[in-house]
């Protein structure tokens, strides 16, 4: 199968009108913090059990088309000895892999950051592909301050995302491009819209320069919201601002926009996704989700390290996945939260 055919097959398998992506790519340090919050020690066995529990949830493939793994997960197995990527595939959920190596300060641009990991990426991708991964994800982060992001920050981060995406496609791996505009601060939704427009414009300019096929990528952006210390906005206000900036910056050739939840509660993330899909403006993209905590948090709390609560935790995950599937069609309502 040609590289083009591989990419197209993955896109065909991942994009439809109902399903989204589970981000289960927490680094060891991140998942350690989340497990500690529920009183669970972050051992390799506990991490393996938890991820296996999520992926073995009955009917999960009805609502999820893909799952992003952390590198550790590719070699982990369930209780029956099945590799977790194979467990996901058995439900029709395509395995993917986070490939960036974390972030640090960007020299010459105080307050901005840059993500590491381009060195040796092609070789790593070939290994991940042999382990079952068919798509990848790379995250760049953009803080909002009166001075950030700087022009250098915008340019350097966009260049990194484009180089990553081009390498992925050359290896037959579909890239998820994640430019996350952080919600830390008290900035207004107008300031957020301004920054997101700058970010998305710079990213697609760089993708064009590097010859990335837009038909064979997925965009994972932030929703346009105010800072978390500012006043709370309605889902309709978030949808209005987000759709307006998307229409200005994202080419129609991109098949799917899978939003990150970015610090929203599970209920907020679902309500905002629903408002996006109910928005009256015509859009050419699938508007879906690639949520991490907003999908996992209820399941993790229900489990709390007690293996006897496996079914309860799985039910919590399935409920959130189902409600987000309804939000994809604009059919969610807060009253559904009360249902089992």
The residues annotated as belonging to the active site are 178, 220
CA nearest to 23, candidates 222, 217, 257, 261:
261
Return the structure tokens found at 183: 């919600």
Buried b (16+ CB within 10 A) or exposed e, 318-331: bbbbbbbbbbbeee
Tokens of 233: 């906005």
- Residues 6 or more apart whose CB falls under 8 angstroms from that of 340 comprise 315, 319
């Amino acid at each position: 199968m040609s590289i083009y055919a591989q990419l197209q097959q993955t896109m065909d398998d991942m994009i439809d009108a109902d399903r989204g992506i589970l981000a289960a790519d927490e680094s060891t340090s991140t998942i350690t913090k989340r497990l500690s919050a529920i009183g669970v020690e972050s051992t390799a066995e506990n991490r393996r059990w938890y991820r296996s529990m999520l992926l073995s949830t009955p009917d999960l493939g009805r609502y999820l088309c893909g799952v992003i793994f952390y590198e550790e997960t590719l070699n982990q197995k369930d209780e029956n000895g099945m590799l977790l990527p194979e467990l996901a595939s058995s439900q029709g959920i395509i395995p993917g892999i986070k490939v960036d190596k974390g972030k640090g300060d960007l020299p010459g641009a105080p307050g901005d950051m840059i993500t590491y990991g381009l060195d040796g990426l092609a070789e790593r991708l070939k290994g991940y592909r042999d382990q079952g991964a068919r798509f990848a994800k790379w995250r760049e982060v953009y803080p909002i301050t009166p001075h950030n992001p700087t022009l250098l920050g915008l340019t350097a981060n966009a260049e990194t995302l484009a180089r990553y995406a081009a390498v992925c496609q050359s290896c037959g791996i579909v890239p998820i491009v994640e430019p996350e505009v952080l919600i830390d601060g008290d900035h207004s939704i107008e300031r957020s819209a301004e920054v997101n427009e700058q970010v998305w414009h710079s990213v697609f300019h760089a993708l064009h320069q590097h010859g990335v096929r837009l038909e064979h990528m997925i965009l994972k952006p932030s929703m346009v919201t105010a800072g978390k210390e500012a006043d709370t906005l309605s889902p309709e206000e978030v949808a209005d601002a987000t759709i307006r900036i998307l229409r200005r910056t994202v080419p129609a050739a991109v098949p799917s926009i899978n939003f990150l939840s970015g610090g929203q509660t599970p209920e907020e993330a679902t309500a905002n996704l629903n408002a996006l899909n109910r928005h009256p403006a015509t859009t050419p993209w699938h508007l879906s989700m690639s949520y991490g905590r907003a999908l996992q948090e209820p399941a993790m709390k229900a489990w709390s390290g007690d293996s006897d609560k496996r079914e309860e935790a799985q039910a919590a995950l399935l409920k959130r996945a189902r409600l987000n599937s309804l939000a994809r069609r604009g059919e969610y309502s807060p009253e559904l939260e009360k249902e089992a």
